[in-house]
Amino acid sequence: MRINELARAKINLCLHVTGQRDDGYHLLDSLVVFADTGDDISIKASVGFSLEIDGPFAEGLSAGYDNLVLKAAKLFEPHCEGAAITLTKNLPVASGIGGGSADAAATLRAMAKMTGAELPKDAGLSLGADVPVCLAEQSCRMQGIGDQITPIQNVPQMAAVLVRPNIAVSTPVIFKAISNKNNTGIMDYDHTDIIKYLKKQRNDLELPARAFAPEIGMCLQALKDLGALLARMSGSGATCFGIFETKKDATDASNKLAKAHPDWWVKACCLGD
């Protein structure tokens, strides 16, 4: 039997950097939602562990044991002889939308279903700071180094467009470039008007990322010009998102962006639970 899981793209609607620990890890405060688009994980029982990668963004990815997908699967080694895994990479890599962390989380869920075993203790955080929130896969407030996850209710579904210019940015480089690492946290969530609420928040990584990759600013401006109610960068970039009034508005904007910028990755989607 084959188990399939969608590794949904993670979107930081806002992201505040609130400190840095002595071990170098940054403290974050973020409102996170998930898109209805992502990578695909397919798993079936096998003898030994193996990984095949296909899809539009498969090129250059290692299928060796340094891949988070295989690391996640091998945590279940006491419960099975192995697993043959296929990762269909639909999301661009190094883009601030979960990527490998979402893939690892989807693998953990699929392996738990295949084996009937519970998730190993601290499985998420042992694989990376973003894996716990991707494992939760619901609208939430993420704090600390990614280990404090608080579900958030009443986050509406939102029509959106994801846009990534044809450039990758380095997360460590962006964090290193932050001038102030002791910023205020996000405000308590107010569900009465999410756009109004989000406009009072920010992404502290956006300015240093835009300095490194001016194309990010171009994406944000393009989304605003097409009528986005809010345009912001997700995570450490370079993916940006625009929230639109309706699905039709988002689809129309997506089509126009893809036509005007054929080298950009553009995807209309829905954000939220």
Contact 164, 251 (CB under 8 A): no
Q: Which one of the listed residues 29, 39, 103, 130 is annotated catalytic? A: 130
Q: Which one of the listed residues 10, 71, 89, 267 is annotated catalytic? A: 10
Asked if 130 is an active-site residue, the reply is yes
Pairing of strands 158-164, 240-244: antiparallel
Angle formed by the axes of helices 215-225 and 247-260, nearest 10° = 130
Amino acid at 199: K
SS (H, E, C) 48-106: EEEEEEECCCCCCCCCCCCCHHHHHHHCCHHHCCEEEEEEECCCCCCCCCCCHHHHHHH
Chain centroid to Cα 123, Å, comes to 18
**What three-state secondary structure class fits 33?**
strand
- Using CA atoms, how far residue 141 sits from 30, 121, 155, 158, 163, in Å, is 6, 21, 11, 17, 23
Asked if 273 is an active-site residue, the reply is no
Distance, in Å, from the CA atom of 40 to the CA atom of 50, rounded to the nearest integer, reads: 16
Distance, in Å, from the CA atom of 19 to the CA atom of 50, rounded to the nearest integer, reads: 39
Which of 94, 90, 59, 261 shows the shortest CA–CA distance to 168? 94
Which of 150, 168, 180 shows the shortest CA–CA distance to 235? 168
Distance, in Å, from the CA atom of 209 to the CA atom of 266, rounded to the nearest integer, reads: 19
State the DSSP code for 153.
-
- Give the residue numbers marked as catalytic: 10, 130
